[in-house]
Structure 1
């Protein structure tokens, strides 16, 4: 008996965004299953392939560390549309917040939404792709990052709203990480509050698989 899933036979699944997706991917083998990195993207590909080998899925990772939504938008044609994926998964936003605090270059929530919406509009205009949107997330490691919530929380709400507008599958990562941190400690899941530990990448991968209907049985 097989499960009902968002994924279909022969899908090309693109996972993209910033360093959380990038996470060790091999740019010399961008289209190889060995080049997906050792973060949640690689885990998603491994477990999806193990759970539904009949689907013959192909996974691509085009995350780039440090990317903001503006930078992701600038490379969207070459690193997304031209690859002709049938499923597009996006995780971006924490750097839009981070650059406000470490570089003094804020991105307003309106600008964030403009860039994100342009990415989604371009995808829907050119591709018949199913969309998966992952909430940006943050844990208070170090405690100063508590103050970042005022900047990040509105971006999370933008992603939730856009997911509803375009009929995308939403991965509610921020609440997931907050709940996990409450059970143990923030450091167990994201060593600097932004970048997941191995356990955090596993947590995010399982949430992605659950959202698309490939949870472990």
Structure 2
């Protein structure tokens, strides 16, 4: 029986779209090129970003923001789709909110250093293509309901300190959601979350105020 790379041809292997490049391929094709003077901003992230457009679609439509969040994703998956879902859309800036699913182990064990390095790679890719990155702190999470006991309330502040130092060394904006939203457990208060991780409309309203200000500062708008 013929085989390729040690795998039987009879197994009819289907390649897995691990970074979910397919999700936004059509939307990316249908998105027109930025007009002259348009300050397009892409939001790269996981479910917290993806669910944002459902919580307040007007926030994205009125500000010409492009949402490219995918629920459950980790930083290596985002890095693999960064060119397709960010660079090729020719934004002026990208808002990177990532890392909590890495700590949760969604795609396997990840060290804080590996998470930091993947976000750094996204920052470097953005800068190399004339896109201004905004590095967001990971949002507070006391525990993960789908995988309890991993102590994100301890690990997330450590990662955020690393991301802040990286942003400073790269000369890019660091957006500190954590300090604004955390309670005394290093988690989200009940008014801001439904499950210790995902955000209510009240939580998104805080994030909208903060990220809009960060975007205006980054792009030099009044």
Judge same fold: TM > 0.5, yes or no.
Answer: yes
User: Aligned partners of 2:97 and 2:208: how far apart in 1?
Assistant: 12
Alignment match, 2:64: 58
Q: What residue ranges of structure 1 are gaps of 5+ in the alignment?
A: 1-7, 25-36, 50-56
Map 1:74-93 → 2, pairs under 5 A: 74-93=80-99
User: Aligned partners of 2:116 and 2:144: how far apart in 1?
Assistant: 27
Alignment match, 1:148: 152
Alignment match, 1:200: 203
Q: Higher helix share goes to which structure?
A: 1
Alignment match, 1:54: none
User: Aligned partners of 1:63 and 1:189: how far apart in 2?
Assistant: 19
Rg comparison, structure with higher value: 2
Alignment match, 2:74: 68
TM-score by length of 2: 0.70
Alignment match, 1:171: 175
Shift of residue 164, structure 1, vs aligned partner? 0.8
Q: What residue ranges of structure 2 are gaps of 5+ in the alignment?
A: 1-35, 218-222
Count residues in correspondence: 178
User: Aligned partners of 1:186 and 1:161: how far apart in 2?
Assistant: 26
**8 Å Cα contact 1:139/1:177 also seen in 2:** no
Q: Summarize the Cα distance change of 1:142–1:162 in structure 2 as closer, same or farther, 3 Å threshold.
A: closer
Alignment match, 2:54: 38
TM-score by length of 1: 0.72
**8 Å Cα contact 1:43/1:202 also seen in 2:** no
